[in-house]
A and B are shown apart, each in its own frame.
Chain A
Amino acid sequence: MIPPYRAIHLWDWPVRLAHWGFVVLLPLLWWTAEEGDIETHRRLGIAMLFLVLLRLTWGVVGSDPARFARFVKGPGVVLAYLRGQLPAVPGHNPLGGWSVAALLAVLSVQLGLGLLSQDEYGLVAGPLNHLVSYETAEMVTEWHEAFFNVILALVALHLAAIAFYSVVRQDNLIGPMLTGQKEIEDDTAQPRMAKWQTAALALIAAAALTAWIGMGAPPS
């Protein structure tokens, strides 16, 4: 007999670590930039780089609900979802999947710009700043500053969507992102979750790549 309510594992710890890390780091990154504490901004940026690399890696080798292949769908599927023609499946829905992909994409772009950026005093610079000229870095730094608005817009959309699902659809998205568990009413199967060894390897890979970039990407 299937009990009326049961919980499945949905968001494993790499997903939650990355997600809540973004939530903590984004305001701090904004604040340190605003205050001109570029050294702290650089350090936090490297922490952000690690989290994004972890999440991107996890999107390829991680648990099924975390995988891009599972939640990034074509326009036909997105339209069908919008028309209400698809059954609800736990995890990112076809529209939300694109939101996740877009958020990770803009974070990646911002990190790339930040790696090349510089303060104007030759004192603090992104770890890859030495690979570009002063003029290029000046331009990239301006983009880095302006591009934050794109991130803000997507974050606003993300929060609006969460509020919409919570209020209109009566679907609490925040709880599962905190606990990792989602309560379901039907016999939805438990998604395949990755082994902890896979997570450990993804963590090490992301940390190693972060360290290498943080050291200025030395060739050897």
Chain B
Amino acid sequence: MTTARFAAIALAAAMLAVPTIAAAPDTIKARQDNFKAMGRSMKLISDELKKDAPAFAVIRREAAALERAGKRIPGFFPRGTGPEAGVKTEALRAIWQKPAEFRAAATKLDGATKGLRTAAAGTDAAKVRAALGATGGTCKGCHDQFRLDK
């Protein structure tokens, strides 16, 4: 009787756990793609800023993309998608151990990308450069705390 109940609970727990475990690699892949897309956007803006006449249309497009991608970050870190997931990830356990700090880091990024979008609305390359620097600084600030240092 007790054994049967235990087995039932274990089975139910396993069934609940299976989707999470199966989804973890997909989640990790999706969040890595999201970060890569952000890196790509950073570079595209940076490339424009190197030119004598930067294409502000490109800068605006990529700034908007950065802001959107940044907003998605907190949702990409459900429990079970850390180093325990069994796939290659540089996400540190600190993300789940210090959720408030992690969220604060994401909020900083959001503020910085908003600033970048605002700067990109104008045509002052120096302002965009400063806002891009601030954005990159929030990336680095978060990585220093929450990403594996290779």
Contact = CB atoms under 8 A, between A and B. Distances in A.
Contacts of B44: 134
Interface in A81-128: 118, 120-123, 125
B59 to A, nearest CB: 12
B52 to A, nearest CB: 9
Contacts of B36: 134
Contacts of A118: 43
B109 to A, nearest CB: 11
B43 A137 contact: yes
Interface stretch (B5-13, B23-31, B74-82, B131-139): B131-139
- Give the bracket for the number of chain B residues in contact with chain A: 10 to 19
Given A134-B39, A137-B43, A138-B39, A121 B136 contact: yes
Given A120-B39, A122-B42, A123-B132, A130 B139 contact: no
B125 interface: no
B31 to A, nearest CB: 15
Contacts of B45: 122
A216 interface: yes
Interface string A126-151: 00011000110110000000000000
B46 interface: yes
B132 A122 contact: yes
A130 B54 CA distance: 13
B98 interface: no
Interface in B109-150: 132-133, 135-137, 139-140, 143
Nearest to B139: A121
A137 B39 CA distance: 11
A135 B43 CA distance: 10
Given A134-B39, A134-B40, A138-B39, A122 B50 contact: no
Nearest to A216: B50
What DSSP secondary structure best describes chain B's contact surface? helix
Nearest to B42: A122
Nearest to A142: B150
B84 interface: no
Contact of B136 (A122, A134, A135): A122
A121 B45 CA distance: 11
Contact of A123 (B40, B50, B136): B136
Nearest to B35: A120
B47 interface: yes
Contacts of A125: 43, 46
Contacts of B40: 134-135
Interface string A31-64: 0000000000000000000000000000000000
Interface string B34-76: 0010011111111100100000000000000000000000000
Of the candidates A120, A122, A123, A137, the one having the most CB atoms from chain B within 10 angstroms of its own CB is A122
The list of the 9 closest CB pairs from A to B, nearest first, reads A122-B42, A121-B136, A123-B136, A134-B40, A122-B46, A130-B47, A134-B43, A121-B139, A122-B43
Given A121-B135, A134-B36, A134-B39, 19 more contacts: A118-B43, A120-B39, A120-B143, A121-B42, A121-B140, A122-B41, A122-B45, A122-B46, A122-B136, A123-B46, A123-B132, A123-B136, A125-B46, A129-B43, A130-B47, A134-B40, A134-B44, A135-B40, A138-B39
Interface of A: 118, 120-123, 125, 129-130, 134-135, 137-138, 216
